[in-house]
Amino acid sequence: MAGTQATPRWALPSAKRKPRGAASVKARERFAKPLPDTTDEELARQRALFERHDQVEYAIRLPLSPTVNNYRAVVRGRLITSAEGREYHAAVKQFWIAHWNGWPPEPLTGRIRLCVEVCFPTARVADVSNRIKALEDALTAAGAWEDDSQIDDLHFRRGAISRGCGYCDVWIETLE
> Where residue 143 sits, what CATH number does that domain have?
3.30.1330.70
pLDDT at 15 (0 to 100): 45
The answer to whether residue 85 sits within a structural domain is: yes
The answer to whether residue 29 sits within a structural domain is: no
What would the DSSP string read from start to end of 118-157? EE-SSSS---GGGGHHHHHHHHHHHTSBS-GGGEEEEEEE
The answer to whether residue 161 sits within a structural domain is: yes
Chain centre to alpha carbon of residue 7: 37
Phi and psi based region of residue 11 (left: phi greater than 0; alpha: psi -120 to 50; beta: remaining):
alpha
* Domain count across the chain: 1
Taking only the tens of pLDDT, the chain with its 176 residues reads 455 555 555 555 554 545 556 667 777 777 777 777 777 887 776 666 655 555 678 999 999 998 888 888 888 888 888 888 899 999 999 999 999 998 999 999 999 999 999 999 988 888 888 899 999 999 999 999 999 999 999 999 998 888 878 899 999 998 87
Domain membership of residue 50 as a residue range: 39-174
pTM comes to 0.70
The answer to whether residue 10 sits within a structural domain is: no
pLDDT at 148 (0 to 100): 92
**In this structure, are residues 84 and 29 in contact, taking their beta carbons and an 8 Å threshold?**
no
The answer to whether residue 104 sits within a structural domain is: yes
Angle CA(63)–CA(46)–CA(38) in degrees, nearest 5? 50
**In this structure, are residues 95 and 60 in contact, taking their beta carbons and an 8 Å threshold?**
yes
The answer to whether residue 28 sits within a structural domain is: no
Please give the torsion angle defined by the CA atoms of residues 20, 21, 24 and 28, in that order, rounded to the nearest 10 degrees: -150
The answer to whether residue 26 sits within a structural domain is: no
The answer to whether residue 14 sits within a structural domain is: no
